[in-house]
């Protein structure tokens, strides 16, 4: 049997820890895996595009465990009552090739993206950052708000979305959380939200080269957490922001980000730093308080690998309510697959050779 984590189970795992502690632990897992960057067999994700969206497969392995995520991005979906982004994934044992876990990754992607954003900001934003503009107030936005408040000490979030109902929803959800010491301010434009902010998070969805931030909105010392531009032809920043002489651009995995990130707008030789180099201390995340740092996030398979391994560990720790799913046969004789179609056998034994790696 293969372990199974559905939406309800993730709700349960997050509730037990508390969302801030969950994101914090996830950020620790992400950082640990970025520190051992060289252990991973990496490749850019495989994307199938349509005029309205994209479906992507994101595989990665460290030689012991393998994972992949299936994820879509369809900005028009919300008009039909559907999510822009949904995902699920698998964690597998490299030695046997057997899947260990099948998990939802829609909620988990929002949690891991917030964890990754905060982790990058810890290395790149000014230490005295207290005010964040949050542009794009859809599905990911609560996770970003909570993570930056709890883990980075943000005291004021300034919200803007072209859809006022999305901002009202975010305001309502944040108010219900009673986040101590967090001021939530609704703004009338992206420019108003960004003015004077220490950090600007852009997490919008539109399948086009949108210009959410123009050069005039960016001030010295700002950290830009650009999350929403993550596909060819889908960006959020004006190219001149990247080209500022005082800008430092950090990406997750250069071969993928050159195609999918904000840097797709720039020539092939445009300098970028991989986040693994920042974590390992081979490159600085920020040189001084006046530099404009840009985390050009697209989402990399390593982050889902770390998230799958983390939720799997939590799932196994609580054996009482630990669900499995029968998607791999368990046979007395592995050469007799046909036996499965014969008369019903006694209930198969749980496979004892499946290992769980921490």
Q: Which residues are catalytic?
A: 230
Q: What is the bridge-based pairing of β-strands 183-186 and 156-160?
A: parallel
- How many angstroms separate the CA atoms of 258 and 265, rounded? 9
Q: Give CB contacts under 8 A, 24+ apart, made by 6-12.
A: 6/104, 6/323, 7/104, 7/106, 7/107, 9/104, 9/315, 9/321, 9/323, 10/103, 10/104, 10/107, 10/108, 10/311, 11/107, 12/321
C-alpha 214 chain-centroid distance = 25
CB of 22 to ligand NAD, least distance (A): 17
Q: In the set 33, 142, 230, 291, which binds ligand NAD (CB under 6 A)?
A: 230
- How many angstroms separate the CA atoms of 166 and 171, rounded? 9
Using CB atoms within 10 A of its CB, is residue 191 exposed (0-12), middle (13-18) or buried (19+)?
Answer: middle
CB of 207 to ligand NAD, least distance (A): 8
44 binds ligand NAD (CB under 6 A): no
Site for ligand NAD in 3-42 (CB under 6 A): none
Site for ligand NAD in 280-299 (CB under 6 A): 297-299
Give whichever of 94 and 162 is closer to ligand NAD, judged by the CB atom: 162
Only one of the segments 10-18, 91-99, 132-140, 150-158 lies at the binding site for ligand NAD (rule: CB under 6 A); that segment is: 132-140
Give whichever of 129 and 140 is closer to ligand NAD, judged by the CB atom: 140
Only one of the segments 72-80, 174-182, 242-250, 335-343 lies at the binding site for ligand NAD (rule: CB under 6 A); that segment is: 72-80
- How many angstroms separate the CA atoms of 133 and 200, rounded? 5
* Closest to 247 measured CA to CA, from 272, 213, 269, 210: 272
Site for ligand NAD in 78-117 (CB under 6 A): 78, 84-85, 109, 113
* Closest to 29 measured CA to CA, from 306, 340, 345: 306
**For residue 324, what are the β-bridge partners?**
3
CB of 210 to ligand NAD, least distance (A): 5
205 binds ligand NAD (CB under 6 A): yes
Token pair belonging to 333: 């004789």
Give whichever of 104 and 230 is closer to ligand NAD, judged by the CB atom: 230
Which residue, judged by CB position, is nearest to ligand NAD in the bound state? 138
Question: Residues in contact with ligand NAD, total (CB under 6 A)?
Answer: 31
Give whichever of 208 and 350 is closer to ligand NAD, judged by the CB atom: 208
Give whichever of 74 and 100 is closer to ligand NAD, judged by the CB atom: 74
Only one of the segments 136-144, 171-179, 279-287, 311-319 lies at the binding site for ligand NAD (rule: CB under 6 A); that segment is: 136-144
Other CB atoms within 10 Å distance of the CB of residue 291? 20
Q: Catalog residues that contact ligand NAD under the rule CB under 6 A.
A: 73, 75, 78, 84-85, 109, 113, 135-140, 160-163, 166, 190, 203-206, 210, 212, 227-228, 230, 297-299
């Amino acid at each position: 049997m293969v372990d199974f984590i559905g939406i309800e189970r993730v709700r349960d795992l997050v509730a037990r820890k508390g969302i801030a502690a969950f994101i914090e632990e996830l950020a620790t897992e992400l950082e640990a895996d970025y520190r051992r960057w060289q252990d991973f067999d990496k490749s850019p994700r495989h994307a199938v595009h349509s005029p309205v969206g994209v479906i992507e497969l994101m595989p990665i392995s460290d030689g012991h465990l393998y994972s992949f995520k299936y994820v879509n991005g369809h900005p028009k979906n919300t008009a039909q009552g559907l999510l822009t982004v949904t995902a699920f994934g698998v964690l597998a044992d490299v030695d046997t090739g057997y899947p260990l876990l099948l998990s939802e990754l829609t909620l988990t992607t929002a949690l891991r993206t917030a964890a990754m954003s905060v982790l990058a900001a810890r290395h790149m934003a000014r230490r005295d950052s207290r005010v964040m503009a949050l542009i794009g107030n859809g599905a990911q936005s609560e996770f970003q708000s909570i993570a930056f408040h709890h883990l980075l000490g943000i005291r004021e979030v300034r919200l803007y979305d072209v859809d006022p109902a999305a901002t009202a929803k975010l305001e309502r959800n944040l108010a219900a959380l009673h986040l101590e010491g967090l001021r939530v301010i609704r703004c009338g434009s992206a420019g108003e939200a960004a003015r004077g902010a220490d950090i600007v998070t852009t997490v919008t969805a539109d399948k086009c080269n949108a210009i959410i931030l123009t050069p005039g909105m960016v001030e010295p010392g700002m950290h830009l957490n650009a999350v929403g531009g993550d596909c060819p032809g889908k960006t959020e920043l004006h190219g001149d922001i990247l080209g500022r002489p005082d800008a430092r651009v950090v990406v997750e995995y250069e071969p993928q980000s050159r195609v999918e990130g904000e840097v797709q707008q720039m020539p092939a030789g445009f300098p970028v730093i991989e986040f693994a180099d920042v974590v390992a201390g081979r490159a600085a995340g920020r040189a001084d308080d006046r530099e404009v740092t840009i985390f050009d996030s697209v989402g990399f398979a390593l982050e889902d690998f770390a998230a799958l391994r983390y939720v799997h560990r939590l799932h196994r720790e609580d054996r009482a309510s630990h669900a499995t799913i029968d998607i791999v046969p368990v046979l007395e004789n592995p050469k007799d697959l046909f036996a499965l179609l014969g008369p019903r056998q006694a209930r198969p034994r749980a496979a004892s050779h499946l290992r769980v790696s921490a």
